[in-house]
Structure formats: C-alpha cells, structure tokens
Amino acid sequence: MSAARISVQEEGLFSYIEQMGLLNTQGEALARLVQQGLVRAGMKDVTVLSVQPSGGRRLVLRHGSALHRVQVLPVGRNPKTPDDEPGWLPLLVSSGFDDATLHRLADAGASFLDDQGNAHLSLDGRTVLFAQTDKPVRRDTHAKVTGLQPQAKRAPGALALNRASHRVAFALLANPDLAASPVRALAKVARASIGTVHSTLAQLTDAGLLLDDRLHHPGRLLDTWAESYRRQAVRPLAPRALYAADERWPDKVRADAQDVVLLGGIAAAAVLDDHVRATDGIVYAATLGPAVTLLRLTTDPTPFRVEVRERFWGDGLPASQPGLVPSVLIYGDLLREGDARSLDMAANLRRNDAHLRTLG
C-alpha cells in the first residue's frame, strides 16, 4: 500500500474521530454529554458535574446519595480494560463499541459509554447500568455525528424471555434477593453468561419490573416467566420413557437424594398438598445416572412413570421443603401440563405456597 493511500486513510479516520462529541468535548460540555448518554441508556437519578469546568475529563457523578469520581478516557475501536487510578473510576468513551467488545468490557467490570447508546456503569463493584443498542455502529467516515444517538433496543415495558434469559428470571423469582447481588453471583446461580444477565436485567428495568436492585410487580414477572416456560421445548435426559417400581419413589427422592435429584411437577405438588395424589412425576438432576440409580428406573412399563429432566440452575435457590425444586418451577411444571387438574393444582399452589404468595 502506498504512503499516499495510508495518509488518506489516516486523515479520513482522524476526521471521523474529530466529529465524535464524547471523544473531543471536555469540561462542562463533556459532563452534560455523559449525563445525557447515561439517562438515554436508562439510568435514573444521575447527575454529572465537571471537576474542571474550563476543560479536562475528570468528572463527579452522583447516583442516589453517593458521589463517584470519574475519569473519562477516549478510546479507539479495540479498547483494553483500563487500569484503575487510585480514587478515580475510568469511563471508556468511543464512537461505538461492537458486540464482542462491549460484552468483553462488561464481563471485566469496565465502565463505558458510546455515541450509539451502549453503556455499562459499575460503581463500587456492582453493575448499576447495562444497555445495549440494536443500532449498528456506523463506519461512514463522511457522516457528521452530533451528540449522542438515542438507544433503540426495546419498546418501554416490553419483555421477551429466550431460553437463556428465562433462567435468569427463574433465579430471580426463586430468590429475589439475588437482584441486589453481584452480577457474577446471579450468573452462577442461573448458569448463564454475564452478558445474558446484563441484558436480562436491562429488560426487566425497561419493563418496570426491576428498580433499585429490587423486583417490582414480581407476580407479573412470574406470569411472563410461566408463559414463556409453557412454550419452551423441554427434552428429558433419557431417550426413552422410564418407570419406577412402586408408588414410594417420591419418598425415596426426598429421603436419599441430598439435592442431587430433586422432585418436581405433580409429585412435588402432592408433597405440598395433602389433597393431591400422584403416581408419576418429574425429577431434576444434573445427569441421568444418579436418578436411575437412586430410583432404580427401568424401561419396563409400570403405572409410575418418571421423567428425568436436566437441572438448569445452580446452587443457592431455596425450596419449600428439602428434596423439592423451587416452588416457582413446580408452578411452571403444572401449567405446562395444561389439563384441568394440573391448572387447578397450580392455582392452589400459588394461593397456598408461602414463597409464591410473596411474589403476588
């Protein structure tokens, strides 16, 4: 490549960067842009002030009652995770981060903001904002960009759970205290990626179901989760139907499983309601082997069919009784059955189970 061509390319890139407000503004104007960007990304109750009103990139950010000192660091297209300067929170700003970069930075706990509406803010080791826009990053070197572009990912109040975000919502419903826990802790319990947790929390915030690290209207989230679960394809761990030898198999799960095998579905509902009787049911396990060994399951048909499903969550979710899955999942299993008896049992469970009553 000729030197002249390299010079033209560099000049074009330089001109493009010069047009980015976040990269070139300083002082009070930069503080206004940062605050505007955080608000558009969905952050509430935030004020940004300049430490050096006439210039400089050191700002003071107020969130709630706490003050945080922020140093704005303009970066190129492939930014590295910054080293913390004692007393200052680094905030990476760019014309636009691609998906891989923004998730890499978010996973590392780095704070960033760009002109496209992508943002992540981690204060005191806790994520308080994560927003990802569906708008593609523009690479048009002749386009003039003025200020920040509004975020355009979801309509306000919309909530759509895919298979991965469904697990995050389940963990929050089963243990609402996880809403105030570190993102990595929630990801571990939900067995989901950090990026999935961030995007799910952003969805919940946009839908008005998460505010100040607390679930709001959890009953509405339970309804949405249950409907999503009802539509999901669930495959048993065993390729063929399995059967227990006698009706006492649920008792063996509760007595001997030690949380390796957990009881779900109608059989679990029968444990919680003396008026319910069940011969077949569902158990959850990480792998098929422990359930087959514990219950001595075979393919020889009996009246006691047992479906073994994969346990899709980690440790730390409470249950109504030892040996049972969380009551949220029992409720979801009953709704999935769809017959009149199961639906009636689901309604009774939601009325009578202590945890489901707290959700509303």
Ramachandran area for residue 3 (φ above 0: left; ψ -120 to 50: alpha; else beta): alpha
Which tokens go with 34? Answer: 């940062």
pLDDT confidence bin for 9, thresholds 50/70/90? very low
* Sole residue written with tokens 């189970």: 353
pLDDT confidence bin for 297, thresholds 50/70/90? very high
What long-range pairs does 37-40 form, CB within 8 A, spacing at least 24?
37/113, 37/117, 37/119, 37/148, 38/113, 38/119, 38/121, 38/129, 40/117, 40/148, 40/150, 40/151
pLDDT at residue number 78: 62
pLDDT in tens, 303-329: 999 999 999 999 989 999 999 999 999
pLDDT at residue number 273: 87
pLDDT at residue number 286: 93
Tell me what the mean pLDDT of segment 350-356 comes to.
Answer: 93
pLDDT at residue number 356: 94
Lowest pLDDT segment from 5-14, 22-31, 175-184, 316-325: 5-14
pLDDT in tens, 196-252: 899 899 889 888 889 888 998 899 899 889 888 887 878 899 989 999 999 999 999
User: In the predicted model, is pLDDT for residue 4 greater than 50?
Assistant: no
Stretch (H or E) spanning 221: helix 218-231
pLDDT in tens, 29-81: 888 888 888 888 878 778 888 888 888 888 888 877 678 889 998 886 666 66
Cβ neighbours for 22, distance < 8 A, ≥ 6 positions apart? 30, 33, 34, 37, 72, 74, 93, 94, 95, 113, 114, 115, 148
User: In the predicted model, is pLDDT for residue 8 greater than 80?
Assistant: no
User: In the predicted model, is pLDDT for residue 13 greater than 80?
Assistant: no
> Alpha-carbon distance 146 to 326, whole Å?
50
pLDDT confidence bin for 108, thresholds 50/70/90? confident
- Residue 230: strand, helix, or coil: helix
Q: What is the pTM of this model?
A: 0.60
Mean pLDDT, the chain, whole residue set = 81
User: In the predicted model, is pLDDT for residue 256 greater than 60?
Assistant: yes
Q: Alpha carbon of 16 to those of 34, 122, 291: distances in Å? A: 20, 29, 61
pLDDT at residue number 20: 54
pLDDT at residue number 81: 64
pLDDT at residue number 7: 38
